[in-house]
Structure 1
Amino acid sequence: MAIVTLAAAKAQLNISASDTAADVELQTYIDAATAAVEEQLGQVVEQRTVVDQLDFAGSARSFLLRSVPAVSLTSLTSLDGLQSWDVGSMHVDGESGLVTLLSGSSVTGSVLAAYQAGMAAVPANYRLAGLIIIQHLWETQRGTMGVQLGGDADNYVAGRGFAIPRRAIELLGPQLPGVA
């Protein structure tokens, strides 16, 4: 599930659903907008499988997954593939990504954690922010934006670059605190 569908992007750009000439380009914009929204939020929006390599100097009974929200832990295996842990005996806190072993042996060494991350449903303001980003990228590619000089028409936030208009950032709200 991307942040928006191809049909929604076409509707935002007033492109007929039957016009498929720019579908590949639009999908690229959808993917880029999804990545930009996720980076701004510090969270995974589009549900997908993520694999983290985690390295433990000692043994651990709990650890953090890198991408949140975490939906479910699929597997936990040692990097060499010789050891695996029963993910059914682990509790995953989806919002924080904290995995706690409820029973069984502690996790040690280098492991690969495979899990599903992302939102069950994309909030309307995130979808609209994605559509605004897609429209902005589309218009800048085609030279249809018009020139805005000075005044209150500044659509961009200093230090944030040009790809994400301010109105999209405002829809996404403040960035979540996290580890840099």
Structure 2
Amino acid sequence: MALVTLAAAKAQLNIGPTETKDDVELQTYIDAATAVVEEQLGQVVEQRTVVDQLDFAKATTSFLVNSVPVISLTSVTSLDGVTSWAAGMPTMHVDPSTGLVTVLSGPSITGTVLVSYEAGMAAVPANYRLAGLIIIQHLWETQRGTMGVQLGDAETYMAGRGFAVPRRAIELLGSQLPGVA
């Protein structure tokens, strides 16, 4: 699920749905805002396939993937492609919130492996969406030369002063959660 759709961003910016001349540029802003939100949260928001290369000097029966939350484990394969482990139940279990993968049966994991999995949120909370929209609007307005935009609560920013994320967006995202996005 996307953090913010193109249609939602256009609505936030009061751009009509049939106005398409800025769609490519606006999608760049959406992608940038998504990256900022994920970095702030320490979690993947927009669902996608992730492939981690992990090195195990000695055999292990549990390991952490790099991105959470985990939706599903797709495959675990040696870097050379010769060895593969059955991903999913009943062979492997993955904790969605921590990314801890546990081998329940079969051989231990060893060597350099590629772990493929789906990560992201099934439903994006409203406060995360609003934070994304605020970031997009803020970047869009400053790019358009609106100097000294009054953002509410006496939060005046001047373009070009080294800011990208308004405080109110950060507050909507709350405290950073454990994990790596």
Tell me if both proteins adopt one fold, taking TM over 0.5 as the criterion: yes
SS in 2 for 1:153: coil
Q: Which piece of structure 1 moves more, 168-177 or 127-136?
A: 168-177
Structure 2 gaps, min length 5? none
Structure 1 counterpart of 2:87, one-letter code: V
Deviations 1:72-108 (A, max 9, x none): 0100000011100011310010000000011000000
Counterpart contact for 1:2–1:30, Cα < 8 Å: no
Indicate the residue corresponding to 1:167 in structure 2: 168
Structure 1 counterpart of 2:109, one-letter code: V
Residue of structure 2 aligned with 1:102, choices 98, 104, 112? 104
- Measure the CA separation in 2 of the matches of 1:147 and 1:12: 16
Structure 2 counterpart of 1:144, one-letter code: T
Identity %: 77
Counterpart contact for 2:49–2:116, Cα < 8 Å: yes
2:51 is the counterpart of 1:43: no
Structure 1 counterpart of 2:77, one-letter code: T
Counterpart contact for 2:149–2:157, Cα < 8 Å: no
Q: How far apart are residue 154 of structure 1 and its match?
A: 4.7
Indicate the residue corresponding to 1:4 in structure 2: 4
Residue of structure 1 aligned with 2:120, choices 103, 118, 122? 118
- Measure the CA separation in 1 of the matches of 2:146 and 2:176: 30
Q: CA RMSD in A?
A: 1.7
Larger RCO: 1 or 2 (CA < 8 Å, sep 6+):
2
- Could you state the TM-score of these two structures normalised by the residue count of structure 2? 0.91
- Could you state the TM-score of these two structures normalised by the residue count of structure 1? 0.91
- Measure the CA separation in 1 of the matches of 2:177 and 2:157: 22
4+ aligned runs moved over 4 Å, structure 1? none
Structure 2 counterpart of 1:130, one-letter code: G
Indicate the residue corresponding to 1:79 in structure 2: 79
Q: How far apart are residue 153 of structure 1 and its match?
A: 2.5
- Measure the CA separation in 1 of the matches of 2:36 and 2:78: 32
Shift in alpha-carbon separation, 1:121–1:147, aligned structure 2, 3 A:
closer
Residue of structure 2 aligned with 1:134, choices 132, 136, 139? 136
The number of residues matched between the two structures is 173
Counterpart contact for 1:62–1:101, Cα < 8 Å: yes
